[in-house]
Amino acid sequence: MGNKLIVANVLHRPIRTIVSVLAVAIEVTLVLMVVGLTSGLLNDAARRTQGIGADIMVQPRGASFFFGLTSAPMPIKIGDRLAQVPHVLAVTPVLFQSNATGGGIGVIAGIDMESWNRVSGGFFYLAGGPFEGPYDALVDDVYAKANHVKLGQTLNLLNQNFHVAGIVEHGKLSRLFIPLSTAQDLSSSHDKASIFFVKCTEPGYTDDVLDTFHRLLPDAQIYSIKQYMTLMSSSNLPELTYFVTAMIAIAVSIGLLVIFLSMYTTITERTREIGILKSLGASKRYILDIILREAGLLCVAGIVVGLLVSLLARKAFLTAFPTLVVEMTFGWGIKAAALALAGSLVGAFYPALRASQLDPVDALAYE
C-alpha cells in the first residue's frame, strides 16, 4: 500500500517527476562521460604505446606521460649507446611535435622507419606504403576516417604540406607519422629525440636491460612498458584525479540539490496529506520512509535514464569525434548509480525529516 501511495504521488506530478528524473540522469551521464573520457584518453594512450611492441622506454627526466607534451632534449646518440647493451635487439628514437590545426591540437611522431620496423615489427598498411620522401606522412585509419583523409591527399602539418603516403592500422603510438629527420628540421631539434623505444632479444631480459640502462643513464626516466601501463592511471596523475573528483562532486551536487528542492516543494504541497497520514496513526518513521522511498524511486528512474543517455552520448561523441575514446565500464556504471542514490537520499533527508516532524493539527489545517 505504501508503494501504491509512492507511485501514485510520483505520477500525480509529472512535471516535477520529469525534472527530478532528468537531473539525476544528467548527474549520472556527467559522471560516466567525464570518467569515460579521462580514462579513455589515458588508456588509449597507454594501449597505443604498448601497441608498438617495445619492452622499454627511455625519456628525459621529468618528461610527461603524455608524449606530445614532452620536448626533445635527448641526443640521438644515446640510442646508439643503448643499442650496444647486451640483450637489446633494437632501439628506435621518436621525436614528438604538437600540431595545432583548426580542429585542435594533435601529436605527430617523427620516426626513423628502419629502426621503427625492427622494434615494432612495422606497420600494417591499409593503403599505400612507407615514406618515400621527406614530406611524406602516414596516418592511421581512425584519423583518416575522422578527417576524411585519403591516400595521396595533401595535409598541412606543422605549417608544411605533407603527402599522405600510407594509411596504417591504428594502435601504434600515434595517429600521424612523419620522417624523423623532417621532424627534427622543422623543430630545429637536430640529432635529438623525445623518447627511445627499446626491444629486447627476449622479454625475459627486460629487467636486466633496465638495470643496465639505469646505470648508464641515472638521470633519465626509464620504464619497462609493463611499468608504464600500470602508471598510466588517473590515480598516478594527481591533476587528473582532482579534475575528475571535482566534476563528480559537481554532478552529485546537481542531483542532490534538485532532489532536495523537489522533495521540499512536494512536502509543502502535501502538508495536509501528511497530516491525514498522521491522523491515521502513521509514525514519524513511516512518513520519513515514504518520502525517502519516493526520492529513491525518482533516483532509480533517473539512473536508468542516465545510463541510457550515457550510452547514446558516447555513441554521439564517437560519431562526431572518432579519434576520442570514451570508456564506460560496468564498475563505473555501478559507482555512478550509487553516487546518484546517495546524493538523492541525502538531498531528500531534510525534507523527509521536516515532514515527519510536522504537527498533525497544523498540517491538517494547512491550506
Report helix, strand or coil for 224.
strand
Question: Cα separation of 46 and 257, whole Å?
Answer: 38
Query: In sequence order, what DSSP letters do the residues of 228-272 get, joined into one string?
Result: HHHH-SGGG-HHHHHHHHHHHHHHHHHHHHHHHHHHHHHHHHTHH
Question: Cα separation of 235 and 333, whole Å?
Answer: 19
Pairing between β-strand 56-59 and β-strand 88-101 as defined by DSSP bridges: unpaired
Binding of other proteins by 132 (CB under 8 A):
no
Task: Output the CA–CA distances (angstroms, integers) from residue 347 to 21, 90, 288, 295, in the order listed.
Answer: 14, 60, 13, 9
Residue among 276, 300, 342, 346 that touches other proteins (CB under 8 A):
276
Binding of other proteins by 11 (CB under 8 A):
yes
Using CB under 8 A as the binding rule, the residues of this chain from 333 to 362 that contact other proteins are 359-361
Give the list of residues 6+ apart from residue 321 with CB closer than 8 angstroms, or none. 146
Task: Output the CA–CA distances (angstroms, integers) from residue 134 to 112, 131, 164, 178, 185, in the order listed.
Answer: 11, 7, 12, 8, 10
Residue among 52, 237, 263, 277 that touches other proteins (CB under 8 A):
277
Binding of other proteins by 86 (CB under 8 A):
no
Cβ-based nearer residue to other proteins, 163 or 272: 272
Cβ-based nearer residue to other proteins, 10 or 138: 10
Binding of other proteins by 284 (CB under 8 A):
yes
Rg, Å, the chain Cα set: 29
Binding of other proteins by 9 (CB under 8 A):
yes
CB of 359 to other proteins, least distance (A): 7
Instruction: From 74-82, 103-111, 210-218, 272-280, give the range in contact with other proteins by CB under 8 A.
Output: 272-280
Instruction: From 36-44, 140-148, 150-158, 282-290, give the range in contact with other proteins by CB under 8 A.
Output: 282-290
Binding of other proteins by 281 (CB under 8 A):
yes
Binding of other proteins by 72 (CB under 8 A):
no
Which residues lie near other proteins (CB under 8 A)?
A: 1-2, 4-5, 8-9, 11-12, 272-273, 275-284, 286, 359-361, 364
